[in-house]
Amino acid sequence: MNNPLAINKIIQKLLLPALLLAATVTRAQEFGGNPPSLKWKQVNTPPARIIFPAGMDSAGIRVANIVQQMNGLIKPTIGLKQKQVSIVLQNQTTVANGYVGLAPFRSEFFLTPEQNSFDIGSLPLPQQLAIHEFRHVQQYNNFNVGLSRALRILFGEGGQALGNDLSVPNWFFEGDAVFNETHVSEQGRGRLPYFFNGYRALWAAGKNYSYMKLRNGSYLDFTPDHYPLGYMLVAYGRQKYGDNFWKNVTHDAAAFKGGFYPFQRAVKKYATTDFKTFSNEGLDHFKEQFSGADANVKPAPNTSKHFYADREYPAYINDSMLIYMKSTYDHIPAFVIKTGNKESRISTRSNSLDNYFNYHDGKVIYASYRPDARWGYRNYSELMVLDVKTGKEHRITQKTKYFSPAFSADGKSIVVAQVATSGASELHILNTDGKLIKALPNPQKLFYTYPQFYGDDKLIAAVRNPEGEMTLALIDIATGAAKYLMPFDFRPIGFTTIKKDTVYFSQTDGINDRLFVLMLGSNKCYELLPTGNDAGIGYYQPAVADDKLAWVGFTASGYQINEVNKKDPKWIDAGTEYAHHLPDMGITALKRDSSANMLGAVVDKPLPVTGYSKAHGLFNFHSIIPNISDPNYSFAITGENVLNTFQSELSFNYNRNEGYKQFGFGATYGALFPYISGGVDYTLDRRQFYKGSYIYWNETSLHGGLEVPLNFSAGKHITNLAFGSDLYFNRTSFQQGNAQQFADRSYTYLNNYLSFSNQMQAAKQNIYPQLAQSISINYKSAISGAGSTQLLASGTFYFPGLVTNHSLVINVAHQQKGKNNVISFSNNFPFSKGYTAESLDDMNKVGINYHFPFAYPDAGFGNIVYLLRLRGALFFDYTRATADNFFTNGSSFKQNFRSTGAAVFFDTKFFNQNSISFGIRYSRLLDDDFFGGTGRNRIELVLPVTFF
């Protein structure tokens, strides 16, 4: 090559990915996500400050009591260090979730429970989150040691997060928290068969994946997430080596004792066996628990050795036709009708939180996720009705929190489970236009899941009581009174369906989730035991026709539908043994200290509730964060308050295009509509090419502005729009050598901007969405002291490629500067690849890119780097640039900058948990690089854009 990249530069850049292994912090929070009308209260205790919306006092006090009474009992098994955390209870969402994070140190609980009780259990969600998430608080408090502490001193909380992330695997964080929730309650995921289905399916199929593959996942094969892996290894460690085992291991690991592989070294030290042996023994323990139950499970009925498809929620159109939801790794979820062995696609599904739907007489109804246009913490679950014959759907409710809708027998009414922002659960009866007919009273304070009509005047639903126990209930539509059809216990129940006087449902039974039927006439309960071998682990989502029975089981190739003649399964009387406790999966350590099942003994002590000021802790600087977003290289001391309404930063930035150094302070207040921002910057050594040579100057800038962020996502599209304007005051001082030619000046300008993005849903293997658009417009115009203007408009458009998972990406850009500009605005024009960029008067670019995957290695080495996918890109860029008075003789400049080439991108995970994509790009310059080096061949390393 004429101009090869220097070896030392390659080495320097290859070191950068090590800095990218930042904290795995769940960024579920939304900046400025709650409306200003929301008033906040607090309960302040030594371990945690619980912050919650006014009116949710009982939930706030309950969480505070659980945390305070649990804290001292469970601290000894992780460490005794304690720093108070702020926990914010969010009630405006439809998503069941929670997190604890550093940078800043805080926690948020999202309090709308999900309908599927098999997933995380049936405990009241505030309690479930308290016993799980607070364990993360204790982890972070006690992992601030050794090298992790040194990184915290250097980089703040983000530094500790980086150190913890590099030394303690994410499976331990979650596995230890799942152990805690299982240990301190009568339920917890460690006792739920559904939690283990992924591993059971792999074991049943004889798929013995390597530890690295289980840790990092795959674009080809199903791999469970890190939660069950973590629980199995944590539980086995405590079972065999005692309750202090993990405290010792993680303390040494977070301190980086022993240097490389600190976690594995610590396991070997305290288990006196190497990590590979330890992990194999831990998995073997649980494999043995399920071996008998899964011995006859047959593989999925397909010839693919990789993940095939999830087929879920079957419903009978007639005895020979099924409708269900189908999801694959390369196509987004869609409704499918199966006749015999032939599948016919009806329509893709709108964005939803789950795949549940209900069918009746050619219509499908389901709940679709829709965010609020402005407030990020507020979102809705709205009902969509799909016409199976035409494939068209329409929305029948707006701004509702409706779940698990079901038609009545005549198709004229709909029942839904509704969850209010107060946490209260109700059953609503609607007509087919979505109009509310009746909201049923809930005198027993139940939480309703999967309601179904039973006749004209009653409903059947799986219900949870305030303690989290479950049963089936017969509910009178007129009064809301519930008659309990079985004893309450902590075994999850769900997926109810009714045929005449028989209720079919799934319920946990020992180490399995089974199918049951309840005869409403006699109130007798039977377990359905299909004959022969079944495809999949578990029995879920039953569907019943006149002569057919179907259900869903989980396999290593996805959820699969099993179908039998209705008369074939055996009916086994559930009898007096029907109610019993959930299994411990052979982990007796769950019962051996004073914190075992302490949740049941928590006393609801009265705690003082006071107001929480929205101005509390506005300036909360927590981290020093480096960032690369070429041409800008920066680091910033960042701050954010607990309510996530005020962000502030002190920053330094180096701009490669213009060579300047900038110091600044900026802040944004997001609790109002629109956002309000302001700041000050001081810039050294800005430069511009002017009449054959560079001119240099310094700048002082003050700015303030407004921004309107909007989210118009709905249906099958994710759509965002943001626009705003900032007013800048600049004082320019030309440096020695240019001061005689140009006079210092002050000027004021407006920075107006608009960004718009719209995309379809994307499947797991899709590199980019099949259709998407991203458009940005930025117009800067001086309004006093100068006549400078600059317009930059750019757009990127995504289209399907020739083959599934291929993408054609076209980007265009236009920059126009004022004819007599002396002071140039910052240059962010996306110049042709390979060239040295310069800001010129008029620039236009068209880029054509074709992206395609070509290998899925699923391989790595040394638990350091794992390669999931190799993908290629071909490109052609054309930039046309012109400038008036460019040369010293006053003549203009006109030049083409064309380049073509190819890139290889590596989609990887480092240290088994941090996703990093980087590439090597070769550019062939078809024109001279007027502002850069000689030669037409360029090689560049394409790096990620953020460090933390």
Residue 495 sits at the vertex; the CA angle it makes with 493 and 500, to the nearest 5 degrees, is: 110
Q: What is the CA radius of gyration of the chain?
A: 30
Q: What is the pLDDT of residue 13?
A: 34
Averaged pLDDT for residues 511-535? 88
**Strand 106-111 relative to strand 85-90, pairing:** parallel
Residue 587 has pLDDT above 90, yes or no: yes
Percent of the chain predicted with pLDDT > 90:
81
Show the tokens assigned to 26: 């769940």
Averaged pLDDT for residues 209-226? 96
Q: What is the pLDDT of residue 253?
A: 98
Q: Of 554, 546, 492, 502, give the one whose Cα is nearest residue 528.
A: 502
8 A C-beta contact, residue 188 and residue 130: no
**Strand 537-544 relative to strand 914-925, pairing:** unpaired
Residue 4 has pLDDT above 60, yes or no: no
In order of 114, 119, 251, 451, the CA distances from 405 in angstroms are 14, 19, 49, 7
Number of H helices and number of E strands within the chain?
A: 13, 47
Reported as a pLDDT band with limits 50, 70 and 90, residue 23 is: very low
Residue range 892-913, pLDDT digits in tens: 899 999 999 999 999 999 999 8
Tell me the DSSP string of 384-440. EEEETTT--EEE--SS-BEEEEEE-TTSSEEEEEEE-TTS-EEEEEEETT--EEEE-
Averaged pLDDT for residues 573-601? 86
H/E stretch holding 281 reads helix 275-291
Strand partners, 53: 40
Residue range 88-139, pLDDT digits in tens: 999 999 999 999 999 999 999 999 999 999 999 999 999 999 999 999 999 9
Show the tokens assigned to 670: 């997001």
8 A C-beta contact, residue 420 and residue 401: yes
Residue 512 sits at the vertex; the CA angle it makes with 510 and 515, to the nearest 5 degrees, is: 110
Q: What is the pLDDT of residue 305?
A: 80
Q: What is the pLDDT of residue 21?
A: 33
Show the tokens assigned to 526: 């039977």
Please state, in angstroms and rounded to a whole number, the distance separating the CA atoms of residues 46 and 123. Answer: 25
Q: Which of 934 and 602 is assigned the larger pLDDT?
A: 602
Residue range 701-720, pLDDT digits in tens: 999 999 999 999 999 999 99
Percent of the chain predicted with pLDDT > 70:
94
Q: Which of 858 and 297 is assigned the larger pLDDT?
A: 858
Averaged pLDDT for residues 812-831? 83
- Enumerate residues 6+ apart whose C-beta is below 8 A from 384: 350, 365, 366, 367, 368, 393, 394, 395, 396, 715
Tell me the DSSP string of 560-629. EEEEEETTSSEEEE-GGGS--PPP-TT-GGGGSSTTTTGGGG--------EE--TTTT---EEEEEEEEE
Q: What is the pLDDT of residue 948?
A: 36
Number of Cβ within 10 Å of residue 83's Cβ equals: 12
Q: Of 751, 733, 824, give the one whose Cα is nearest residue 786.
A: 824
**Strand 865-883 relative to strand 859-861, pairing:** antiparallel
State the average pLDDT for the chain.
91
Residue range 173-200, pLDDT digits in tens: 999 999 999 999 999 999 999 999 999 9
Which alpha helices (H) appear in 41-82, and where do they start and end? 57-74
Please state, in angstroms and rounded to a whole number, the distance separating the CA atoms of residues 544 and 322. Answer: 10
Show the tokens assigned to 667: 């802040």
Residue 232 has pLDDT above 60, yes or no: yes
- From first CA to last CA, the distance across the chain in angstroms is 35
Residue 203 has pLDDT above 60, yes or no: yes
Q: What is the pLDDT of residue 292?
A: 80
Q: What is the pLDDT of residue 295?
A: 72
Residue 885 has pLDDT above 90, yes or no: no
Q: Which residue has the tokens 């626009």?
A: 723
Reported as a pLDDT band with limits 50, 70 and 90, residue 588 is: very high
**Phi, psi dihedral angles at 121 (to 5 degrees):** 105, 180
Averaged pLDDT for residues 611-626? 94
